[in-house]
Amino acid sequence: MRVILRTDVKGVGNKGDVLDVTNGYGRNFLLPRGLAFTASAGAEAQAEGMRRSRNIKDAADRSAAEEVAKTLVSTPVTITARVGADDKLFGSVTSADIAEAVATQTGVEIDRKQLLLAEPIRTVGTHLVPLKLHANVEFPVTVEVVGG
């Protein structure tokens, strides 16, 4: 069965892609949920327009992410936390804390889920935290944790 995807379907394809899928998958999953529609000559022309608009939107999102990256790479973010013995923090600095500090210090709003922090920061010092704003734009944010 030949279908055109209306939205991005994880593991299958992106919006506007023309795919050959099994009859059961198309009839029982994609079509009833409105994720795809049956391909025809006119529909394939429509799919080309969908792909074009997706590519334009993706390029705009990427350029916006690169502008934010230029701002954040050059600006370290400072977070003040309570410190105990041996420069260990009472508690920790989480991705939510970092996102809030970025918003207040640089004016750039980021989602905490875009920060790829493996585990919370528990020591004073300078830490590099990867930030993924777009599929092709990933860069480190410098986070300075100081005692206060």
Q: What is the CATH number of domain 2-61?
A: 3.40.5.10
Q: Can you give the pTM of this predicted structure?
A: 0.71
**Structural domain 75-147, CATH architecture:** Roll (3.10)
Distance of CA 46 to the CA centre of its chain: 28
Give the amino acid at 38.
T
How far is the C-alpha of 97 from the C-alpha of 102, rounded, in Å?
9
Tens-digit pLDDT profile for residues 113-142: 999 999 999 999 999 999 999 888 999 999
Q: CATH 3.10.430.100 residue ranges in the chain?
A: 75-147
| Residue % of the chain over a pLDDT of 70 | 100
Residue with tokens 């590099």: 128
Q: CATH 3.40.5.10 residue ranges in the chain?
A: 2-61
